[in-house]
Amino acid sequence: MPSVCVVGAQWGDEGKGKIVDWLSNRADVVVRFQGGHNAGHTLVVGDKVYKLSLLPSGVVQGKPSVIGNGVVVDPWALMDEIARVTAQGVEITPEILTLADNACLILPLHRDLDAARERQAGAAAIGTTGRGIGPAYEDKVGRRAIRVADLADRSALEQKVARLLAHHQALRRGLDLPEADPVELIAALEAIAPRILPFARPAWRQLDQAWKANRRILFEGAQGALLDVDHGTYPFVTSSNTVAGQAAAGAGLGPRSVGYVLGICKAYTTRVGAGPFPTELDDETGRRIGERGREFGTVTGRPRRCGWFDAVLVRQAIAAGGIDGLAFTKLDVLDGFDVLKVCTGYRLHGRDLDHFPANLADQHAVVPVYEELEGWPGSTRGARTWRDLPAAAVKYVRRIEELVEAPVALLGTSPERDDTILMRDPFQA
């Protein structure tokens, strides 16, 4: 079956929203398979800008869209997002949107816990968005989470809330938080239930039917491989697996369904929050990249840290994530640089490394080894064919392909949906 899985190949914020929106034209169903509303996708369609967090990007195209069981869902945030997108002229109905009935919920107490832990950690804070994603995943794995289907059963809900609070009250006391009120929590869930439940159904069955009917499924990932809870810069990571291997489990389909894996990466590197970043540029060049690329978090508004392209990290993400080809975004941000640098390896305590080490102290200690490439004075912005690109820009892309050991399938030259050079259609791969 022709299906495509889109995942980030860096620390997130690679431009997945635009690429998924572009691919949605070719897809029949779009499914989010992990993360929560800590992730943000920005879509630019004509003169409209859509900022999505939980909603799959396919909703803007009117394509059937699924929030899979691997996503943790804040029901209040979801309804706020639906209202915001509806006000922009996009109709979100149960015919368009499916919410997996076995997805776990993010509750107010998760947000409380997230914020309290970050405050207590002080300088050692991980830099979470404070939206409760990590604590919600903890409860899911601890088998005490409230799931979407529980909203339809008052008696089961009361029992599950009691079990959940037996765990959380002790945590709250230890963090100097007031104990949660079970009556208040149940009342809040009962109030939101009639708004959420019309979207809830067995997502796995809908996707299984689409698979058997040979429909094109687009799996939409959030964050990036370097934030993967196993393969990222632990502990400065998210709380879920962000690589393509999670797509099947988080959507409710088998691994055969995933198909072509498209990794998204920028022509440079960015990161939000704390954690190691070997090629970070804390200078005028870094600020120039950030300003030209408008590098501010879609969800948090935080400025992103910027640096040169790190081929070592992307090559590692490609290997660990089973990535078949890349969508290379924001090439236009590098317009006008005389010289560009690409990290091709590291030096660690006097020895050469061709990979990013797992030890956190080593991750902070590595020194990037750079290769310098010729920049280009002309503009790549809005280019839609190879012929529109300066020769040095073509050489830059080709060198990146060699270093990361994967082909570039799509090349983005502006935030606009159609400013994309197609070298290989992932749905035809």
Active-site positions?
Answer: 13, 41
Alpha-carbon span 278 to 311, nearest angstrom: 11
Segment holding 245, helix H or strand E: helix 245-251
**How many CA atoms within 13 Å lie on the side-chain side of 139?**
29
Residues 6+ apart with CB under 8 A from 72: 35, 36, 103, 104, 105, 106, 133, 136, 137, 140, 240
Segment holding 229, helix H or strand E: none
Tokens (6 digits) for 261: 């894996």
Alpha-carbon span 67 to 57, nearest angstrom: 11
Name the DSSP class of 103: P
Residues 6+ apart with CB under 8 A from 338: 375
Determine contact, residues 38/129, Cβ cutoff 8 Å. yes
**Which whole-number Å values give the CA distances from 269 to 216, 280, 382, 394, 429, in the listed order?**
31, 8, 21, 19, 27
